[in-house]
Structure 1
Amino acid sequence: MEDETTWLSPKAVLLSLMVGFVVAKGMSILWWRPRKIEEHFSRQGIRGPPYHFFIGNVRELSGMMLKASSHPMPFSHNILPRVLSFYHHWRKIYGSTFLVWFGPTVRLTVADPDLIREVFSKSFYEKNETHPLVKQLEGDGLLSLKGEKWARHRKIISPTFHMENLKLLVPVVAKSVTDMVEKWSDTLSESGEIEIDVYEWFQILTEDVITRAAFGSSYEDGRAIFRLQAQQMLLCAEAFQKVFVPGYRFFPTKRNISSWTIDKEIRKLLVKLVERRRTSSGGQTAAKDLLGLMLEASKSSENVTVNDIVEECKTFFFAGKQTTSNLLTWTTILLSMHPEWQAKARDEVLRVCGSRDVPTKDDVVKLKTLSMILNESLRLYPPIVATIRRARADVELGGYKIPSGTELLIPILAVHHDQAIWGNDANEFNPARFADGMARAAKHPLGFMPFGVGVRTCIGQNLAMLHAKLTLAILIQRFTFHLAPSYQHAPTVLMLLYPQHGAPVIFRRSDGQDYR
């Protein structure tokens, strides 16, 4: 017995030491370090809701967000209290610069445009690490890449989005929109009206355009991928609504297994598509769609692999679809709420396009009123309501000392609705503020940033704006529209800003013609 005890003792001591180390490390990460960070910022006059062991402010934050989204809001564009309820609430208590804890991770909210410009312009700050569940959904492409690999991919992909190249897509977009209008016309009532949930229809429309831009003649192959990504997005959203448990994404739960299966299927479809294009091209990949450019790069560089191409396609599919379809949805809702601007846009389209049923690429450039309307829509209802950057080292920001690793939360929606930047009518729909261009619309150049700022500005913004302008021009030519009685105003965040209860709109043929 004595020999057995002696033999076990070193193991017991080692185990005790290991447990003690883990406990000490855990206490440091989950308690002592957050308390030190709170004290560090408190000495600089920055406070926030108190940190709670392990969960931070997640419980209060989730409660406020769930309460805000539990019922629709009045027909108002003052959406900050509903969409970013935690920021709206704590800003009133602690000011616009305060700390908020996402578990043991601290985030410093920064809404001052001068500080935001510094964050985006200096190399001390980098894009934060994307959550693994989000990365699985949106792909490990331009949205999440950093450093040299990001720069290399951006250079490869950029020609896809050159304006002259995008103008070649005008007939493609026009065909997709007119096909959609034909389907609507087939079901018009005797009075020439139809009720449409534009949120659903614009997603279908954008899928068609994005797949053509990504794969050229192979666009049909992309539709199955969109369907799978939509399923994966719902699973991802469900996971974020659950209580935070470290490593939960690795558990073989029903939801996780479904997510893994979908991810494998998406990858399988994309690899198959890439290989088919590589084989059918016979070594010639001159096409300037996304897939063609990536394949061309892979021929001349070992740094671009099939996996890189797959991840970029996932990114383009997800970001392109969600951004553009949401822009179209909110702009249609705004024009339904404000018929005077709908009439102004229609007068412009009819004046510029004349008797042409479909605007040309030259017509689209001349639609100034529509550009103003789209910019105002992006200001009031930006697809991305907030973004995050991370301090790579100990830095000073506007006189504040920021420790390395601190995440900076930039509430884009709050900046877009800031009366100090936009005036007393900041929460009102007034496209005329963009009449002299974006540079003169706001009192600060960083007051408007729907597509980001600096080198990481969204590469697809020209495609999104071209697509949106052309789509709205064609619809405005053919229909007048207003909100359906069943519409409920409920802007909500699920990755991007979207209408929680859909967007039913009643379209009425404006001139009695059937454009088929």
Structure 2
Amino acid sequence: WLDNTLVVNEDEEWRRKRTIYNRAFRVGAIRSYAPLFLDIAEAAALDWQRHHDEQRPLDAVRSFESVALESIGRAGFGVEGMGKAGSTYAHAFVSYLRVLQDEITSPAMILLPGPLRRTVTWLRGRGYLDTMNSESLRISSGGSAGDVALAGSRGQETRRHLVSLIREAANEEGSSLDPEQLAREANLFLFAGHDTTSATLAWVFASLASRPDAQQRAYEEVASIPEQGLLEHISDPKSLPFVGAIIKETLRLYSPATMALRRTRFDEELGGYEIPAGTDLSFPIWAIHRDPKIFKDADAFQPERWLDASADQLKGMNDHWMPFMIGARGCIGQQFAMTEMRVVIATLLRRFSVRPASEPSMKQRMLLLPSNILLHCSPR
């Protein structure tokens, strides 16, 4: 299902697509989705209020899964309701993702020979994949009402969804992308923007629940912004420095991707070792992010480190911070994810304080995901 997508393309095909996609994912274009993210965050706030009124702890993982699905659905494809129960596309996607995870992590699957394991995965997942492909093909062919407008409830000017922008950019570059190609890329965007963002947001609020002082400091920062001009401030990467530090620290401690793979294109020497061209290299992101030689008190949640460090210390930390990887093949959706998280965090922190209602845990699947994050939400 990843065949001929940006994540696996190489050389000229990768450069051609990356040039096209960069136009859709530029910072200005992504910031224009801030009103949309705000609407989705405010809908989540209503659910948080219901949990408070009914004296029920909030399942943060499920709450932010809905937020992330709705965000990528509306901004990415122009499809509303993906974060709600009953969404055909979302159900197929989540189900297929679990099938893929089972292939890697299920003890019963791991014991099977490789070819048989892949066959079982294909048989279990083909119905879900067919549904995903038909839905994404409909969207990429222009058959989605969201291709027309992306207006939030505040009445801001309309926005085109990402797939539509990519299609337009390809036409302007004189480089066609057929609907089937766009459909595969749409599935990739959903995969990249779902569990990663929802997991990070859940860990943000779990971490703030365990650090009331940091939570209060973040609240004071977002509460200081006047209602008029709110969106302009919270979507600006240079504003809300402490909220930005919270996101960076959370991604350092709980990067959904615990490792990354790269393949050398030329003979290289690394650390005194000769590495031939074509060698697969693994980057242990989890270990690098928790290396005490780089990050003091590396296992502690200390967002202040990103603001209090000297210039040299900050450079060293930034050079080893890689939840989105680095270089030309770094995650193209980084600004999308960061903008979405800033808006969601600022919106919810302005309205609620949180306390832990459980002891969080984590599970390793294709990604490192949070589990059992229950929160008591109190309106401010």
Which band: TM-score by shorter chain?
0.7 to 0.9
Shift of 1:360: 1.5
- Maintained 8 Å contact 1:278/1:295: no
Matched residue of 2:53: which SS?
coil
TM superposition shift of 1:402: 2.2
The aligned residue for residue 173 of structure 1 is 37
Q: Matched residues in 1 for 2:124 and 2:134: separation? A: 15
Which residue identity does 2:219 align to in structure 1? R
> In the superposition, relative to structure 1, how do residues 148 and 314 fare at CA in structure 2: closer, same or farther (>3 Å)?
same
- Alpha-carbon distance change, 463 to 417 in structure 1, aligned in 2, over 3 angstroms: same
Larger Rg belongs to = 1
Partners of 1:477 and 1:219 lie apart in 2 by 25
How far apart are residue 226 of structure 1 and its match? 2.2
Structure 1 residues 289, 415: CA separation in 2 closer, same or farther (over 3 Å shift)? same
Residue 52 (structure 2) aligned to one of 184, 188, 192? 188
Amino acid at match of 1:398: G
User: What's the secondary structure of 1:458's corresponding residue?
Assistant: coil
Matches within 5 A, 1:45-444: 136=1, 140-189=4-53, 193-216=55-78, 218-220=79-81, 223-240=87-104, 241=106, 242-249=110-117, 251=119, 253=120, 255-277=121-143, 288-297=160-169, 299=171, 301=174, 303-351=176-224, 353-354=225-226, 356=227, 359-365=230-236, 366-423=239-296, 425-435=297-307, 440-441=313-314, 443=316
Cα distance, 1:383 vs structure 2: 1.7
State which of 493, 499, 502 in structure 1 corresponds to 2:364: 493
Amino acid at match of 1:494: R
- Any idea what SS the aligned residue of 1:409 has? strand
Following superposition, the deviation at residue 205 of structure 1 comes to 0.8
CA distance in 1, matches of 2:194, 2:146: 27
Aligned mates of 1:347, 1:150 — CA distance in 2: 44
Equivalent residue for 1:502, pick from 367, 372, 375: 372
Aligned-partner Cα distance in 2 for 1:281–1:203: 24
Separation in 2, partners of 1:324, 1:258: 26
Cα distance, 1:489 vs structure 2 = 3.1
Contact 2:77 2:146 in 1 (8 A): no
1:156 is displaced (CA, Å) by 1.1
Cα distance change on mapping 1:152 and 1:260 into 2, 3 Å:
same
User: 1:298–1:305: 8 Å Cα contact kept in structure 2?
Assistant: no
Contact preservation (8 Å) 1:387, 1:409: yes
* Identical counterparts, % of pairs: 26
Partner residue in 2 for 1:70: none
C-alpha displacement at 1:444, in angstroms? 5.5
Q: 2:281 is paired with a residue of what secondary structure?
A: strand
Deviation at 1:495, TM superposition (A): 1.6
Q: Offset of 1:361 from its aligned partner?
A: 2.0
* SS at 2:52 equivalent: coil
Residues 402 and 200 (structure 1), Cα distance of their counterparts in 2 relative to 1, 3 Å cut? same
Would you say the 8 A contact 2:49–2:377 is kept in 1?
no
Q: 1:498 Cα deviation (Å)? A: 0.8
Cα displacement (A) at 1:454:
0.5
The question of whether the paired residues in 1 share the 8 Å contact of 2:265 and 2:278 is answered with yes
| TM-score normalised per structure 1 | 0.64
Quote the residue 2:352 is aligned against.
Answer: 479
Query: What secondary structure, in the 3-state scheme, does the structure 2 residue paired with 1:261 have?
Result: helix
Preserved contact between residue 197 and residue 504 of structure 1 (Cα < 8 Å) = yes
Given the superposition, is the C-alpha separation of residues 314 and 432 from structure 1 closer, same or farther in structure 2, using an over 3 Å criterion? same
Return the offset for 1:224.
2.5
Query: Which deviates more from structure 2 when the two are superposed, residues 325-334 or residues 150-159?
Result: 150-159
Displacement of 1:206: 1.0
Residue 145 of structure 1: how far off its partner (Å) = 2.0
- SS of the residue aligned with 1:360? helix
* TM-aligned CA deviation for residue 154 of structure 1: 1.4
Give the C-alpha shift of residue 238 in structure 1.
1.5
Structure 1, unmatched stretches of 5+, are 1-135, 511-516
Checking the alignment, whether the CA contact within 8 Å between 2:234 and 2:342 is kept in structure 1 is no
What is the DSSP-based 3-state SS (H/G/I as helix, E as strand, rest coil) of the residue aligned with 2:293?
helix
Residue 410 of structure 1: how far off its partner (Å): 0.9
Aligned mates of 1:279, 1:201 — CA distance in 2 = 26
Distance in 1 (CA, whole Å) between partners of 2:82 and 2:210 is 37
Deviation at 1:473, TM superposition (A): 1.0
Name the CA distance, whole Å, in 2 between partners of 1:322 and 1:178.
Answer: 20
**Alignment size in residue pairs:** 360
Q: Partners in 2 of 1:225 and 1:275 — Cα distance? A: 16
If the length of structure 2 is used for normalisation, what is the TM-score?
A: 0.86
2:96/2:125 contact within 8 Å kept: yes
AA aligned to 2:298 is: A
SS in 2 for 1:389: strand
Per-residue deviation, residues 281-334 of structure 1 (Å, max 9, x unmatched):
79xxx9743221332255465652222101110111110112211110111111
Segments of 5+ residues of structure 2 without an aligned counterpart are 149-157
1 CA distance for matches of 2:117 and 2:4?
Answer: 17
